[in-house]
């Protein structure tokens, strides 16, 4: 294709580009302009006594432990990524690593640069800081998130090197928590990323629907943040300043006729239930390998009969409720769960309260989506992978090619075989797909005009006379504290969840209302019809074919590890069913995405120098000559020495990213062209020199909120520049670095400017006849 003709003459020749200067001198020039203003850097070492230092080290070790790190040893995946001399004697490294983790969790709203850690650690440990900070940042343990400080792009001061410099490209299949977390992290690493999503929305099995006239946020998929301590979802909520509501412990149980289960019986059967689980643990230890062939349900029932517990109808119904709750936790029938391994993830369980997110989990999803390129309604049917890269075919025949592909589809989709892999997945991986279980949980969500239930509880349970239906509407969640409306959700678990898929939604709603009226009618409370209701059908959804994974009889936790294995550093896998420590959780999905982003980055480094063909995703090219100057010829905001352009259709958006230009003057002494100084000329001749005031420009990436803060500052230009660099921590760049690092930003600003011009055109036309 021949190049398109220029629309206007080039304004300057390359040799006469403005602000031509050595960019290594930018900091010196800036310091000279600002003078010797005091820096806000903390002292390199805090003065602590030996006792205080030891206490601080122990506290930081406990924080690291809560994040899944051993107190006094390396992670298995950590050792091979460290230099040998550090891995062989890791004690000091571990102390530094724990210090970095604690520092990050103390304030996850802003990036934690290595320089800040260096200011608090003795200079003799600088090499350990470099190793620990590098590992934690690459593996997604620090410096991840969704706030304005963590855009889906490389940091402005990041040097393009490694996979970023080579233009390595990745296709991510699925825009759920795992896919979005991985894509966002890869974009921050500087790789080129495209996400393909089969649905018309992001989130996957995390789905917040707006019901009741779009007023109430209703969770139809993943809903509860299970354990807030060290939970990365809690980090995202903190970054977005989203409040969390603790799910209160009190959960009254009701008989089918509406009577409340007595506290004594409730506590008695709760003890029986936990004792049965304890005996099941002893049973599998006694049976050893034979336990691999027995289900948890079979083991519990044998023990119940052996000890003659829960013999009356009331006791049996209460015990059935606890068993239904266990099936809900595992999204599987007890008859399928492995006695040997069903609870293998218990040691890694996140501590702390279980919480609801105010306004719904979609707030996290939309934040993760910001800046990530996603193509919706692209159902992937085929993934080809080989030494030359990958090719992904969507329904309809559209083909996307890249260096690597990350598959984040649910285990149910892998089981269905709806995606063809070429070459076929390794046998041991196919075996893990078949062995692991993928269960079902369904919901009936209802929005009422007002709250008629007890506002002081978040959950209540209902017993069922039939054991086979123990999971039918057995638990109700109240979301009135966080949803913006009177929302109740009835859960359907176990065998009942499978049958629920066949029930007409109207029939299901009437059954739920009959239960509620049976509970509250005798109390004199009228239960109204809901203004809107929704019944989920996750088991019939072709984009998941179920809810979440569990360890079925014949499987083990090792199968999660097998699913997480990559194939020839080209095909990668993420999702809740690929993380052994946190399966069947939202935070597990997120962590698996961060894990795979690190693996892909390392794989890209290993292949970046190989001879690769060029793929569909275009490389980030340097903008054409004059593009940067053209942008600032009509700035969106200007005052003093500052001018700004923003990448947003709405200029008043405080989170709109953009570029700032700072215009500074430099004095030059130029001699006339024909002036040749004589050898005996000892005094400068003023007439032989010409004073020239030349303007040069520095650039930075900023947000509109930062620009407004500068404009509203009472400082002069010099004070504003100090505010920008020191208080706001903005890194200034020269012309060349801006064109190289911010090429995507420049293109985005140009596109936003075109969109604004289109919107400014008159929409109503007077047509004369």
Structural domains of the chain sorted by starting position, each given as residue range(s) with its CATH number in brackets: 41-139 (1.10.10.10), 169-206+230-242+359-437+550-607 (3.50.50.60), 248-352+441-536 (3.90.660.10), 627-669+692-760 (no CATH)
Q: CB–CB of 377/199 below 8 Å?
A: yes
For 744, phi and psi rounded to 5 degrees?
-65, -40
Q: How far apart are the first and last CA of the chain?
A: 44
* Paired residues of 77 in beta bridges: none
State the DSSP H helix or E strand holding residue 384, giving kind and residue range, or none if neither. Answer: strand 380-386
User: Among 231-240, 516-525, 668-677, 759-768, which stretch is predicted with the lowest mean pLDDT?
Assistant: 759-768
* Between 654 and 592, residue with greater pLDDT: 592
Q: CB neighbours (10 Å) of residue 320? A: 23
Calpha distance 66→227 (Å, rounded): 11
* Tens of pLDDT, residues 517-553: 999 999 999 999 999 999 999 999 999 999 999 999 9
Residue range 725-740: mean pLDDT, rounded: 82
The DSSP call for residue 24 is: G
User: Among 162-171, 391-400, 537-546, which stretch is predicted with the lowest mean pLDDT?
Assistant: 162-171
* Between 216 and 694, residue with greater pLDDT: 216
Torsion-angle region of residue 143: left (phi > 0), alpha (psi -120 to 50) or beta? left
* Tens of pLDDT, residues 214-225: 889 999 999 999
Q: In the structure, what pLDDT confidence band is assigned to residue 22 with cuts at 50, 70 and 90?
A: very low
**What is the percentage of the chain residues whose pLDDT exceeds 70?**
85
* Tens of pLDDT, residues 242-276: 999 999 999 999 999 999 999 999 999 999 999 99
pLDDT at position 283: 96
Q: In the structure, what pLDDT confidence band is assigned to residue 605 with cuts at 50, 70 and 90?
A: confident
- Say which residues have a Cβ less than 8 Å from residue 271's Cβ, sequence separation at least 6: none
pLDDT at position 391: 97
* Nearest C-alpha neighbor of 517 from the set 531, 504, 528: 528
How far is CA 411 from each of CA 326, 564, 593, rounded to the nearest angstrom? 21, 12, 15
Q: CB–CB of 121/129 below 8 Å?
A: yes
For residue 163, pLDDT over 70 is answered with no
* Between 678 and 499, residue with greater pLDDT: 499
**What is the percentage of the chain residues whose pLDDT exceeds 90?**
65
* Tens of pLDDT, residues 436-471: 999 999 999 999 999 999 999 999 999 999 999 999
Q: CB–CB of 572/407 below 8 Å?
A: yes
Q: Roughly what angle, to the nearest 10 degrees, separates helices 126-138 and 91-106? A: 60
- Say which residues have a Cβ less than 8 Å from residue 17's Cβ, sequence separation at least 6: 625, 735
Q: In the structure, what pLDDT confidence band is assigned to residue 762 with cuts at 50, 70 and 90?
A: very low
pLDDT at position 723: 87
pLDDT at position 588: 97
What's the half-sphere exposure (Cβ side, CA atoms, 13 Å) at 525?
15
Q: Roughly what angle, to the nearest 10 degrees, separates helices 232-239 and 362-369? A: 80
For residue 406, pLDDT over 50 is answered with yes
For residue 116, pLDDT over 80 is answered with yes
How far is CA 373 from each of CA 103, 175, 247, 474, 645, rounded to the nearest angstrom? 32, 10, 35, 41, 22
Q: In the structure, what pLDDT confidence band is assigned to residue 508 with cuts at 50, 70 and 90?
A: very high
For residue 653, pLDDT over 90 is answered with no
pLDDT at position 5: 35
Torsion-angle region of residue 732: left (phi > 0), alpha (psi -120 to 50) or beta? beta
Q: Considering all CA atoms of the chain, what is the largest pairwise distance in Å, rounded to the nearest integer?
A: 119
**DSSP 3-state percent helix, strand, coil across the chain (nearest 5):** 40, 20, 40
Calpha distance 492→535 (Å, rounded): 10
Tokens 């062209």: give the residue. Answer: 673
Alpha helices in 81-231 (DSSP H): 84-88, 91-106, 114-118, 126-138, 163-166, 177-189
pLDDT at position 671: 55
Q: Is 668 exposed, middle or buried (0-12, 13-18, 19+ CB in 10 A)?
A: exposed
Q: In the structure, what pLDDT confidence band is assigned to residue 690 with cuts at 50, 70 and 90?
A: low
Calpha distance 633→372 (Å, rounded): 29
Q: Write down the mean pLDDT value for the chain.
A: 86
pLDDT at position 704: 87
Q: In the structure, what pLDDT confidence band is assigned to residue 162 with cuts at 50, 70 and 90?
A: low
pLDDT at position 250: 95
User: Among 133-147, 163-177, 342-356, which stretch is predicted with the lowest mean pLDDT?
Assistant: 163-177
> Which tokens in the block code for residue 737?
């670095």
Q: CB–CB of 587/350 below 8 Å?
A: yes
Q: CB–CB of 572/406 below 8 Å?
A: yes
For 422, phi and psi rounded to 5 degrees?
-135, 110
Q: Is 418 exposed, middle or buried (0-12, 13-18, 19+ CB in 10 A)?
A: middle
Q: In the structure, what pLDDT confidence band is assigned to residue 764 with cuts at 50, 70 and 90?
A: very low
Q: CB–CB of 203/318 below 8 Å?
A: no
Q: In the structure, what pLDDT confidence band is assigned to residue 613 with cuts at 50, 70 and 90?
A: very low
* Nearest C-alpha neighbor of 664 from the set 701, 717, 726, 722: 717
> Which tokens in the block code for residue 13?
């020749």
How far is CA 757 from each of CA 20, 649, 651, rounded to the nearest angstrom? 33, 9, 12
> Which tokens in the block code for residue 402?
């890249």
pLDDT at position 34: 47
Q: Where are the beta strands (DSSP E) in 635-756?
A: 637-639, 642-646, 657-670, 690-703
Calpha distance 310→597 (Å, rounded): 50
Q: In the structure, what pLDDT confidence band is assigned to residue 614 with cuts at 50, 70 and 90?
A: very low
- Say which residues have a Cβ less than 8 Å from residue 445's Cβ, sequence separation at least 6: 209, 211, 218, 219, 220, 487, 488, 489, 533, 534, 535, 536
Q: CB–CB of 155/123 below 8 Å?
A: no
> Which tokens in the block code for residue 385?
């992978």
Q: Where are the beta strands (DSSP E) in 166-303?
A: 169-173, 192-196, 208-211, 216-219, 225-226, 244-246, 253-254
């Amino acid at each position: 294709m021949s190049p398109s003709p220029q629309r206007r003459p080039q304004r300057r020749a390359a040799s006469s580009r403005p602000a031509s200067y050595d960019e290594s001198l930018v900091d010196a020039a800036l310091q000279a302009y600002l003078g010797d203003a005091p820096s806000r850097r903390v002292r390199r070492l805090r003065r602590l006594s030996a006792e205080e230092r030891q206490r601080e080290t122990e506290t930081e070790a406990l924080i690291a432990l809560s994040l899944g790190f051993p107190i006094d040893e390396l992670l298995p995946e950590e050792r091979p990524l460290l230099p040998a001399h550090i891995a062989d004697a890791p004690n000091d490294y571990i102390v530094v690593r724990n210090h970095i983790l604690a520092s990050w969790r103390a304030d996850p709203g802003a990036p934690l640069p290595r320089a800040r850690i260096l200011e608090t650690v003795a200079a003799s440990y600088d090499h350990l800081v470099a190793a620990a900070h590098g590992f934690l940042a690459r593996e997604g343990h620090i410096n991840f998130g969704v706030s304005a400080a963590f855009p889906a792009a490389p940091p402005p001061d990041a040097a393009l090197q490694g996979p970023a410099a080579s233009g390595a490209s990745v296709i991510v299949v699925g825009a759920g928590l795992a896919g979005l977390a991985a894509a966002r992290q890869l974009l921050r690493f500087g790789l080129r990323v495209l996400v393909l999503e089969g649905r018309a929305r992001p989130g996957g099995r995390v789905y917040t629907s707006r019901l009741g006239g779009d007023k109430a946020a209703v969770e139809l998929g993943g809903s509860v943040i299970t354990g807030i301590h060290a939970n990365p979802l809690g980090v995202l909520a903190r970054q977005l300043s989203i409040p969390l509501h603790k799910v209160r412990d009190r959960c009254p149980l009701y008989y089918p006729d509406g009577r409340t289960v007595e506290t004594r019986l409730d506590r008695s059967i709760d003890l029986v239930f936990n004792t049965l689980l304890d005996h099941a643990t002893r049973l599998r230890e006694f049976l050893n390998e034979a336990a691999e062939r027995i289900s948890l349900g079979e083991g519990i029932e044998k023990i119940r009969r052996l000890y003659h517990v829960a013999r009356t109808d009331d006791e049996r119904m209460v015990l059935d409720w606890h068993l239904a709750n266990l099936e809900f936790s595992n999204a599987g029938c007890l008859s399928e769960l492995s006695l040997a391994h069903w609870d293998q993830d218990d040691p890694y369980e996140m501590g702390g309260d279980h919480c609801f997110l105010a306004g719904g989990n979609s707030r996290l999803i939309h934040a993760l989506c910001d800046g990530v390129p996603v193509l919706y309604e692209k159902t992937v049917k085929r993934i080809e992978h080989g030494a030359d890269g990958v090719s992904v075919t969507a329904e309809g025949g559209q083909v996307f090619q890249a260096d690597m592909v990350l598959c984040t589809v649910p285990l149910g989709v892998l089981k269905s075989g709806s995606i063809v892999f070429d070459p076929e997945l390794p046998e041991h991986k196919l075996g893990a797909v078949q062995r692991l279980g993928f269960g079902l949980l369904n919901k009936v969500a209802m929005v009422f005009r007002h709250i008629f239930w007890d506002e002081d509880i978040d959950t209540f349970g209902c017993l069922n006379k039939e054991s086979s239906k123990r999971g039918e509407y057995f638990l109700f969640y109240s979301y009135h504290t966080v949803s913006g409306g009177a929302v109740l959700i009835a859960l359907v678990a176990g065998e009942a969840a499978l049958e629920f898929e066949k029930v007409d939604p109207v029939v299901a709603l009437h059954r739920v209302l009959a239960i509620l009226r049976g509970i509250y009618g005798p109390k004199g409370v009228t239960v109204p019809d809901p203004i809107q209701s929704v019944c989920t059908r996750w088991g019939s959804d072709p984009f998941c074919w179920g809810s979440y994974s569990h360890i079925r009889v014949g499987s083990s936790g090792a199968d999660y590890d097998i699913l997480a294995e990559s194939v020839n550093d080209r095909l990668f896998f993420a999702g809740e069913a690929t993380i052994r420590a946190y399966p069947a959780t939202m935070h597990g999905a997120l962590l698996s995405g961060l894990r795979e982003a690190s693996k892909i980055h390392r794989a890209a480094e290993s292949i970046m120098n190989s001879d690769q063909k060029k793929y569909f995703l275009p490389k980030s090219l340097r903008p054409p000559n004059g593009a940067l100057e053209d942008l600032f010829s009509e700035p969106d905001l200007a005052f003093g020495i500052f001018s700004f352009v923003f990448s947003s259709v709405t200029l008043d958006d405080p989170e709109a990213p953009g570029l700032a230009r700072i215009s500074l003057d430099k004095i030059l002494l130029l001699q006339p062209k024909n002036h040749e100084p004589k050898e005996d000329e000892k005094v400068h001749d003023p007439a032989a020199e010409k004073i020239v005031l030349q303007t040069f420009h520095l650039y930075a990436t900023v947000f509109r909120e930062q620009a407004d803060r500068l404009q509203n500052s009472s400082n002069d230009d010099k004070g504003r520049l100090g505010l920008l660099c020191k208080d706001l921590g903005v890194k200034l760049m020269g012309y060349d670095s801006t064109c190289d690092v911010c090429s995507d930003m420049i293109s985005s600003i140009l596109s936003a400017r075109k969109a604004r011009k289109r919107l400014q055109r008159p929409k109503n036309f007077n047509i004369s006849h």
